[in-house]
Structure 1
Amino acid sequence: MENNGLDIGSAPDRLLDAALCHVAFDGWSEMTFRAAAEDSGIGVDLARVVCPRGALDLAAAYHRRGDRLMAAAYMATDLTGLKIRERVALAVRLRLEAADREAVRRGAALFALPQHAAEGAALIWGTADAIWHALGDTSDDINWYSKRATLGAVYSAVVLYWLGDESEGHGASWEFLDRRVEDVMRFEKFKARVREMPVLGAALAGPLKALGRIKRPDGAPRDLPGRVGEGERT
């Protein structure tokens, strides 16, 4: 689809690329959106068609671009000999290395606003899902949700630490990341041991059976809603 010689399909990327030159100064704001529309040659009216919510859509698009860059970088990495915890940490690190810190800082401020908090949470969930998808996660039950919820919490904590990290090469951030991933792995081991304990295992049998009926969502896009049993939606 074209409009006066403009490839509409390329418009979102052109707008986003143009916006990044302004985000450090004006944040993900209406001023940035208008400047991006002008700089890209798209114009404000057409930019509104591409991004109806203006800079909010651009900020969300920037976040999702980071997820795609992470996945591509992860797939291009030699993973030979890496344990699962090392692969998780690597994916999170690649996700942050693909980002501009000031753009992320401004995005964090935007999605911290009450009216945008739900969207911010959905984007973090999407990042956790993209990481597990890149790792080849095949879970299709309650673990599909718990893995993403746990990793989303880890990712959020690491981002906040990374935003204030002035250490060389962000080394302190990667050490913080390793500690958080190790904490998660210890918790997973603890859960496994609890299930093997006779008394607790028997007490949890009923709740675990009920949770076992929860299934991951079908089809794409992968999102929060899931399935219970066969065809019952939660």
Structure 2
Amino acid sequence: MDETPERIRERLLEAILDHVPFDGWSEAAFRAAQRDCDVTAAEARVICPRGAVDLAVAFHRRADRAMVEAIKAADMSGLRFRDKVAEALWLRVGAMGDREAVRRATALFSLPSHAPEGAKLIWETADNVWTALGDSSRDVNWYTKRATLSGVWASVVLFWLGDESPDRCETRAFIDRRIDDVMRIEKVKAQVRDNPLTRPLSKLHESLFGGIKAPDLDHLADLPGRLGGGPR
């Protein structure tokens, strides 16, 4: 029975992980994975037109899918919402996989030619967190929540890469600190809204951005993020 493209891509991904620590997410690593899987060069290129870059993207999205499944399986009913977000990020850390592969992927997506793709993947992770936690915002908050969490997640990845503490406990503490920083910002925003002296600023903000709506998930599936149906 012929394999599906998805199954071949998964085999290529598993194979390339043996080569990434030595060659990075490179053409050499991609060709080695193709040979290991006994896949023709033409077939591998059809499935992954950009070679190792496409497999690095698949590596990231596979971890996103694992995070979403872990969030669904976790009992967060007794947690505050800020703790749910922190727990979701910690679950994403647990889905990272090999640290050298993540390190090499971070370097790859830091290159100018791949930086837009890297930013898109970080946005997708933030969007998957909010969606899995049941975010229902449909106004400008849809964007600000994801933009804020994207910044948090990017910093968490960099911290995790250098964390040598037992069980990466320092990363968990770092996540909590970053979420606390975000919550302080939200507290200040609430104070601005409630203070008679600064309320006009809040009203101005609402008038400027009140017309912004979240994208239509059914008709704009080619935009970054979850659009089109969850982590891929």
Q: Identify whether the pair has TM-score above 0.5, normalized to the shorter chain.
A: yes
Structure scoring higher RCO (CA < 8 A, sep ≥ 6) equals 2
Moved more, 62-71 or 6-15: 6-15
Q: 1-side partners of 2:206 and 2:110: how far apart?
A: 34
Over the aligned positions, Cα root-mean-square deviation in angstroms equals 1.6
Q: 2-side partners of 1:185 and 1:206: how far apart?
A: 22
| Equivalence for 2:30 | 33
Matches for 1:54-203 after TM superposition, within 5 Å: 54-99=51-96, 100-203=98-201
SS at match of 1:119: helix
State the identity %.
52
Distance 1:59 1:212, change over 3 A: same
TM-score with structure 1 setting the length:
0.90
Is the 8 Å Cα contact of residues 217 and 224 (structure 1) preserved in structure 2?
no
CA deviation vs aligned residue, 1:123-159 (integer Å, no higher than 9, x gap): 1001000110111100001100010011010111111
Distance 1:169 1:59, change over 3 A: same
Is the 8 Å Cα contact of residues 140 and 212 (structure 2) preserved in structure 1?
yes
Letter in 2 for 1:166: E
- Extract unaligned runs of 5+ from structure 2: 226-232
Q: How many residues align?
A: 222
TM-score with structure 2 setting the length:
0.91
- Extract unaligned runs of 5+ from structure 1: 226-234
Letter in 1 for 2:106: A
More strand by share: 1
SS at match of 1:21: coil
Is the 8 Å Cα contact of residues 23 and 103 (structure 1) preserved in structure 2?
yes
Q: 2-side partners of 1:222 and 1:178: how far apart?
A: 33
Displacement after TM superposition at 1:199 (Å):
2.5
